[in-house]
Amino acid sequence: MPRQRFVPLPTADSDGEPFSSTEEAWFWTVKAQRLIEEGAHIRANISKHPKNCEPRDILCVISRLTRQGKLRRQHLRTLYRFGLEERCPDPEAPEDAPHATFWEQAIGCLGTALHAKGFVVPNRFLEKNI
């Protein structure tokens, strides 16, 4: 018999604004997680522009994609590194070029999942491929 998994429901109100891009959602998540680790107490819906999810909702999506084998260790390392730097890797820069492919793959996979949950607004590329 398959074991039951507890999946927490999103805790933020769905009335908040979705992110305009997957990158924006990821950079916001990393920044919020860093603040939490430094002792900040993050509460939903107290900002000028509340989001329709919390950082842990996006981290749960990352965890699920990793368990499913869609994101691998190198994807996670790349997401984490450039998330901390709050920038996308530049494929033209020699030091970033090896990471650019992993970034695009990870952001594409994450973007599809976040769009399905309504955390990221659809864009023309996703609308064509869904």
In tens digits, what is the pLDDT along the chain, a chain of 130 residues?
A: 677 766 655 554 456 789 999 999 999 999 999 988 888 776 666 666 778 888 999 999 999 999 999 999 999 999 999 999 999 999 999 999 999 999 999 999 999 999 999 999 976 444 444 4
Let me know if residue 1 belongs to a domain: no
Let me know if residue 46 belongs to a domain: no
Let me know if residue 105 belongs to a domain: yes
DSSP letter, residue 9: P
Q: Is the pTM of this model over 0.75?
A: yes
Let me know if residue 11 belongs to a domain: no
Phi, psi of 22 (to 5 degrees): -65, -40
What's the total number of domains in the chain? 1
Which are the contacts of 57, defined by CB distance < 8 A and separation ≥ 6?
Answer: 10, 11, 12, 117, 119
Q: Which domain holds residue 88?
A: 22-40+51-129
Let me know if residue 110 belongs to a domain: yes
